[in-house]
Amino acid sequence: TASQPSSNRAAKLPVSHTRELVAEERHWAQALDEFDGPERRPGLWARSFVHAQGDEIKAKVFYLATRAEEMYASGEPILNRGQ
């Protein structure tokens, strides 16, 4: 179906675009590790919680989206998972 990702999608993209997508995905993974670990930013979590009007799931979504975008936009280095 149209909502399912194509397994050939990456093969059809230019190499530079594929690398960009992989880097972006690594930032998302890094944001998730940060959220689940001791490095969660309290101020951003508070802002996320308020933005989501107390809904913890929506607050987590907002936090992850904000951090992944910040990391990607700033060119923040990608850490190996588990570091």
pTM score above 0.85: no
Q: Looking at residue 15, what is its pLDDT?
A: 62
Q: Looking at residue 51, what is its pLDDT?
A: 97
Cα four-point dihedral sign 45, 51, 3, 12: negative
Q: Looking at residue 13, what is its pLDDT?
A: 55
From CA 12, how far away is CA 1, in angstroms rounded? 18
The residue type of 10 is: A
pLDDT along the chain (83 residues), means of 10: 46 67 86 96 98 98 95 77 50
